[in-house]
Amino acid sequence: MDLEALNKIAVKMVTPGKGILAADESTGTIKKRFDSISTESTFEKRRDWREMLFRTDKAMQDHISGVILYDETIRQDAKDGTSLVDLLHANDAIPGIKVDMGTTPLAGRPGETVTQGLDGLRERLAEYYELGARFAKWRAVIEISHPDQYVGATPTLGGIKANTHALGRYAALCQEAGIVPIVEPEVLMGGHHSVERCHEVTEMALNSLFTELYEQGVALEGVILKPNMVVAGQKCADQPSREEIAERTIKVLKDTVPAAVPGIAFLSGGQDNEEATRNLDMMNKIGGFPWKMTYSYGRALQQSALKAWMGDDANYDAAQIAFYKRAHMNGLASKGEWSSALENA
Catalytic residue ranges: 184, 226
Q: Is the CB of residue 63 less than 8 Å from the CB of residue 327?
A: yes
List the one residue out of 204, 265, 272 whose CA is nearest residue 18: 265
CA-based radius of gyration for the chain: 19
The H or E element spanning position 136 is strand 135-142
In 121-149, which positions are buried (b, 16+ CB within 10 angstroms) versus exposed (e)?
Answer: beebbeebbeebbbbbbbbbbbbbbeeee
AA identity, residue 254: K
Pairwise CA distance, residues 13 & 10, whole Å: 5
Sign of the Cα pseudo-torsion (129, 132, 137, 138, in order): negative
> SS3 of 93, please?
coil
In 277-303, which positions are buried (b, 16+ CB within 10 angstroms) versus exposed (e)?
Answer: bbbbbbbbeeeebebbbbbbbbbbbbb
Pairwise CA distance, residues 301 & 252, whole Å: 25
Pairwise CA distance, residues 106 & 314, whole Å: 46
Beta bridge partners of 135: 96, 180
